[in-house]
Amino acid sequence: MIRQAPTHDNSFIMSLNKILASIALILALLAAFIGTPKRGDRNLDEIASLIETEKDHITPLELAEQIHSGKKIRLIDLRDSVSCIQQHILNSERMSIQQLLNDGIKRNEIVVLYSEGGIHASQAWMLLKMTRYDSVYTLLGGFSGWKEEILYPELKAGVTEVEKKNFERRKTLSLFFGGEPMVISQETSKEKSIRQNQSTHKRNPPVKVKKEEERLRYQC
């Protein structure tokens, strides 16, 4: 005896297929009328909120830890080429703000911008945020902050246990990024402050002399 497959199942599937095909066609016709879905520019309130809640930046320590743990972050150096060549953060790329805006970065990657202090980076951040680059941050304190906190962290004499633990954490990161962590004893801290005073004096001569030098330079 030959068993026949039940026909009502097949007709149900055929009907369902026709219904689904019709739905797909209607959605496609409507899509053709819409064209390309538009992405609106970011609301200024949203940007203000990000700044106020400090979600616009990342600290040097947080950045160092994330890079050290292997997280994929794209670092953009906005300083001039000379500064960049002298010293920069490991694996960073140098870019001008213009290059950054002209599709220098992708929208679906995490980007951290830094400049010397942070002003240029903040300006670039604002421009990118206005055009809906979502995962962009600035480095708090810029490269100067990076040098102080990560490349050349210092452990001064007479600090608390918590600060000592904190320094150990920074020391590992500093060595990873090619820095020079320093432990300063009470004697050396005195010596260092003297050296600092002397070097400060050399860098910034008394105002009267500096103005005279400037006057002569401009005359040339």
Partner 1 sequence: MNAPFYQFGLFGNDTALLFAVVIGIGFGFFLEQAGFGSSVKLAQQFYLRDLTVFKVMFTAIVTAMLGLFWLSWLGLVDLSLVRVLPTYLVPQLIGGLVFGVGFVMGGYCPGTCCVAAVTGKMDGWIHLAGMFAGIFLFGELLPLIGNWYSSTPMGEITLSQIFNLSHGTMVLLIVLAALAGFYGADKLEGRSRST
Q: Which of residues 54-73 bind partner 1 (CB under 8 A)?
A: 71-72
- Find the binder of partner 1 among 34, 82, 207, 216 (CB under 8 A): 34
Candidate ranges 18-26, 45-53, 87-95, 184-192; the one touching partner 1 (CB under 8 A): 18-26
Q: Which of residues 125-144 bind partner 1 (CB under 8 A)?
A: 132, 134-135
Closest by CA to 132, choosing from 34, 44, 36, 59, is 44
Query: What binding mask, one character per residue, do residues 37-56 give for partner 1 by CB under 8 A, x or -?
Result: x-x-----------------
In one letter, which amino acid is 172? T
CB of 53 to partner 1, least distance (A): 14
> Using the rule CB under 8 A, is 24 a contact of partner 1?
yes
**How far apart are alpha carbons 115 and 196 in whole angstroms?**
25
Instruction: Identify which of residues 62 and 154 has a Cβ nearer to partner 1 in the complex.
Output: 62
User: From residue 164, how far is each of 12, 172, 174, 183, 197 by CA, in Å?
Assistant: 73, 13, 15, 10, 26
Report the SS3 class of residue 42.
coil
Instruction: Identify which of residues 22 and 193 has a Cβ nearer to partner 1 in the complex.
Output: 22
Q: Which of residues 166-185 bind partner 1 (CB under 8 A)?
A: none
Report the SS3 class of residue 76.
strand
> Using the rule CB under 8 A, is 27 a contact of partner 1?
yes
CB of 12 to partner 1, least distance (A): 17
Instruction: Identify which of residues 110 and 184 has a Cβ nearer to partner 1 in the complex.
Output: 110
Closest by CA to 76, choosing from 68, 51, 63, is 63
Candidate ranges 103-111, 143-151, 186-194, 199-207; the one touching partner 1 (CB under 8 A): 103-111
Closest by CA to 157, choosing from 205, 190, 197, 116, is 190
With CB under 8 A, what is the number of residues at the site for partner 1? 24
CB of 21 to partner 1, least distance (A): 6
Closest by CA to 128, choosing from 100, 148, 154, is 100
Residue listed under structure tokens 């990873």: 176
Sign, CA dihedral 194-195-196-197, equals positive
What Rg do the C-alpha atoms of the chain give, in angstroms? 29
Tell me, what DSSP letter sits at residue 118? S
Instruction: Identify which of residues 133 and 146 has a Cβ nearer to partner 1 in the complex.
Output: 133
Binding residues vs partner 1 (CB under 8 A): 21, 24-25, 27-37, 39, 71-72, 107-110, 132, 134-135
